[in-house]
């Protein structure tokens, strides 16, 4: 068999994924003819067809599917190596491209950015927020802050936070609910996912259907609504750390829903090739230090808390720390 024309493999990968030469040409910024010629060259070199032509569609045959399974991880590794090389070059050495959830960016990271700038004035953070999991290598990111359990293929992962769900209200809500019990809280305007609320109420010995007045796909919006006294929220404690310290939010009950779901876990993920890159090492160390400060702040807040609500049953993990 003739030597494989490596320059055609990125085109092969895109055509295999899209199943359309014209769409592949647009993504690759090539002409339709150029893409067609590269696929033809690849098939001539390997000595057999890789695609079936079905009208405007072009579909992998069995041989093409076998080649794709071999090509994908090889090209992924080349992409990772190129990314690592770019990060280590002079032009990338002082810029970290970071992708993370909007809620974590808004409620935790952004308030701490001045301390990052003061400590590392020459290392710039470029933030990209998304509810979707982003392919770090393909999209050109150095690091991601993710929520879930993983694993994430091809990435090194370090756990950051395992944060419980706590019941939060505005100062006005805390005054209004002074002395109330779990059953009475069920009559309030609740914000958040009903299944989580039902689990929380069960810890206090009350079971029943819960109908929150609003649910959110972003925890930052939920916490903003709680601060505006629109309702009572059930949210990750770490995201409320600053608001609890400043008194903008109050924990209404000592009962917490432990961080036993995928959504309780926050991770720092990055290509393993960048593990020893000095800017990323600095960022990871700084994250750990700042999260420890948040943990201490939450512990201090819990020690002096005057919870307005009583509880029928005290949960064994009262006042947990992440």
pTM of the model: 0.69
pLDDT at residue number 317: 39
First and final C-alpha spacing in the chain: 58
Q: What is the pLDDT of residue 214?
A: 94
Two structure tokens written together for 235: 């949210």
- Cα 263–chain centre separation: 10
| Bridge partners of residue 167, in order along the sequence | 234
259 touches 317 (CB < 8 A): no
Asked if residue 123 has pLDDT above 70, the reply is yes
DSSP state string for 199-214: HHHHHTT-------SB
Q: What is the pLDDT of residues 83-95, one digit of tens each?
A: 666 655 545 458 9
- Please give the average per-residue pLDDT across 267-273, as a whole number: 92
How many CB atoms are located within 10 Å of the residue 62 CB? 9
Residue-wise pLDDT for 177-214, tens only, equals 988 888 888 889 999 999 999 999 998 888 888 899 99
Q: Domain coordinates of the chain in residue numbers?
A: 6-88, 93-322
Mean pLDDT across the stretch 277-292? Answer: 95
| pLDDT, averaged across the chain | 86
Q: What share of the chain is helix, strand, coil (3-state, %, to 5)?
A: 50, 20, 35
Q: Give the pLDDT mean for 114-140.
A: 91
111, pLDDT greater than 80: yes
**CATH assignment of 93-322?**
3.40.190.290
Which alpha helices (H) appear in 249-312, and where do they start and end? 278-303
Residues 6+ apart with CB under 8 A from 276: none
Calculate mean pLDDT across residues 13-30. Answer: 88
| The pLDDT of residue 293 | 95
In the chain, the percentage of residues whose pLDDT exceeds 70 is 89
Assess whether pLDDT exceeds 60 at residue 223: yes
Residue 315 reports pLDDT greater than 50: no
pLDDT value, residue 311: 52
**What size, in residues, is the chain?**
322
Task: Report the alpha-carbon distance of residue 256 to residue 305 in Å, rounded.
Answer: 14
User: pLDDT at residue 260 above 80?
Assistant: no
pLDDT the model gives residue 27: 86
Same fold, 6-88 and 93-322: no
Q: Considering only CA atoms, which of 54, 56, 25 is closest in space to residue 39?
A: 25
The SS3 of residue 177 is: coil
What is the residue-wise DSSP string for 86-120?
A: HHHSTTTTTEEEEEE-HHHIIIIIGGGHHHHHHH-
Find the range with the poorest average confidence among 99-113, 116-130, 141-155, 307-321: 307-321
CATH of the domain spanning 6-88: 1.10.10.10
Cα–Cα distances (Å) from 308 to 108, 171, 251, in that order, read 26, 10, 8
């Amino acid at each position: 068999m003739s030597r494989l024309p490596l320059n055609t493999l990125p085109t092969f990968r895109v055509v295999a994924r899209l199943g359309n030469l014209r769409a592949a040409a647009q993504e690759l910024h090539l002409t339709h003819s150029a893409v067609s010629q590269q696929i033809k060259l690849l098939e001539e070199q390997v000595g057999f067809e890789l695609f079936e032509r079905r009208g405007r569609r072009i579909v992998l045959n069995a041989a093409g599917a076998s080649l794709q399974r071999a090509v994908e991880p090889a090209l992924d590794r080349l992409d990772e190596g190129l990314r690592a090389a770019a990060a280590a070059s002079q032009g990338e050495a002082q810029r970290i491209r970071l992708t993370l959830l909007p809620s974590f960016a808004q409620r935790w990271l952004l308030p701490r950015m001045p301390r990052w700038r003061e400590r590392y004035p020459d290392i710039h953070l470029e933030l990209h927020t998304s509810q979707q999991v982003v392919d770090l290598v393909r999209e050109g990111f150095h690091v991601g802050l993710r929520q879930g359990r993983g694993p994430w293929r091809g990435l090194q992962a370090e756990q950051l936070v395992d944060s419980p769900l706590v019941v939060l209200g505005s100062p006005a809500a805390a005054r209004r609910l002074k002395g109330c019990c779990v059953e009475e809280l069920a009559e309030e305007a609740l914000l958040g996912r009903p299944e989580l609320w039902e689990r929380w109420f069960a810890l206090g010995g009350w079971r029943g259907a819960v109908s929150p007045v609003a649910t959110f796909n972003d925890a930052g919006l939920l916490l903003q609504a709680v601060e505006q006294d629109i309702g009572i929220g059930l949210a990750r404690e770490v995201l409320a750390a600053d608001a609890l310290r400043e008194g903008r939010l109050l924990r209404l009950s000592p009962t917490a829903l432990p961080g036993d779901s995928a959504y309780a876990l926050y991770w720092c993920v990055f290509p393993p090739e960048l593990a020893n890159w000095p800017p990323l090492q600095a960022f990871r160390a700084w994250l750990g230090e700042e999260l420890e400060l948040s943990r201490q702040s939450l512990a201090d807040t819990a020690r002096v808390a005057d919870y307005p609500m009583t509880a029928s049953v005290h949960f064994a993990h009262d006042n947990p720390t992440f």
